[in-house]
Amino acid sequence: MRLLILGGPRFVGRHLVESALAGGHSVTLFNRGRTGPDLYPEVEKLRGDRATDLSALEGRNWDAVLDTSGYLPHVVRRNAEALRGRVGHYTFVSSISAYADLSKPGVDESAPTARLTPEQWKAAESIDASEPRASPAFTELYGALKSECERVIQGTFPDRAAIARPGLIVGPHDYMDRFPYWVSRMAEGGEVLAPGRPERPVQVIDVRDLAGWLARLAGASVPGVFNATGPEPPITMARVLETCRGVAGGGARLVWVDEAFLVGRHVGAWEELPLWLPESASAGHAGIMRLDVSRAVETGLVFRPLFETVRDTLAWERARGGHEWRAGLTREKERALIEEWKRTVRG
């Protein structure tokens, strides 16, 4: 099958190329050539900017397109209209952030998604389409932007589109550092601040499981909307950290710190302490790690053992060398919080 992938081979795109090639597909990459331009010499590479220059796509046809880099509705509309009639099936990588309400567990694909207000549409139009993630407005509107992109794809490719809504994507080449933080921190050892309840549900998806499933959806031209996140049933935060400790072998000692204590000290959920979001009803996050993934499972989404994800992420992290961390607590702040927590508990 002839597959067109929109986006570079940095994380999801990288594993998607590998999955597609392993499945015997012919792959064409369309991107700006900024990430891994020398990777995959056997793959056709078309250069262009999806926001401004689609000329490299003119006069070409593919059986399916997989879109890993669609963020702005007007850009996605331009791309979709350019490809309409020239590709048979469109797979769009969206996000669980597209849902309007994730305050309750069990959200399935029938739940309402977010909409941009007229004022937000104006803000969205001001985002630099060549570097959308650099804009504060993009961060604020991310979920609604993804939702509006979904509507564009569904309207342009009715009955010929698959919308995948991943949660937290983890595994080798995770440049956002959220899962690598825990793997690396446990390998380092010592006292490690563990946030909230040990039994708190966690949903993550290994990028290789996601990529393999996406390639199969495209290859079989499967339409529909799918939550594409962690195992069913969800694992717990304790299991994640215990698995990281077991694989890393760093002798880390977990110090479980109460959620209210962390919130009261303005510790950054998700960024400073990845995988942690306050569970209190007022926070509105109760469902973000407890989505219904049964529809995706029915179409063939499978989950590898957690220890494999931890093992391979740790190996990649050690191989990539020094870098500036995008997520996680500094050691100084972690030590200070642990010591204050201990004093609080002792009374």
pLDDT at residue number 153: 98
On the question of pLDDT at 229 being above 80, the answer is yes
Banded pLDDT at 346 (limits 50, 70, 90): confident
pLDDT at residue number 206: 98
pTM across the whole model: 0.96
Residue 110 Cα distances to 99, 142, 224, 249, 291, angstroms: 10, 20, 11, 43, 12
Query: Does residue 76 contact residue 70 with C-beta atoms inside 8 Å?
Result: yes
Q: Any idea how long the chain is?
A: 347
- Please name the fold of domain 174-203+231-289+305-347: UDP-galactose 4-epimerase; domain 1 (3.90.25)
Residue 70 burial (10 A CB sphere; 0-12, 13-18, 19+): buried
User: Which tops the pLDDT comparison, 323 or 67?
Assistant: 67
Tell me the C-alpha distance between 20 and 37, whole Å: 18
Banded pLDDT at 196 (limits 50, 70, 90): very high
pLDDT at residue number 280: 78
Banded pLDDT at 281 (limits 50, 70, 90): low
Domain 1-166 carries which CATH code?
A: 3.40.50.720
Query: Does residue 186 contact residue 192 with C-beta atoms inside 8 Å?
Result: yes
Q: What is the DSSP string of 190-210?
A: SEEEEES-TT-EE-EEEHHHH
Average pLDDT score over residue span 291-320: 97
On the question of pLDDT at 347 being above 80, the answer is no
Query: Does residue 273 contact residue 241 with C-beta atoms inside 8 Å?
Result: no
Residue ranges matching CATH 3.40.50.720 in the chain = 1-166
On the question of pLDDT at 97 being above 80, the answer is yes
Residue ranges matching CATH 3.90.25.10 in the chain = 174-203+231-289+305-347
Rg (the chain; Cα; Å) = 21
Pairing, β 2-6 against β 26-31: parallel
Tell me the C-alpha distance between 308 and 297, whole Å: 20
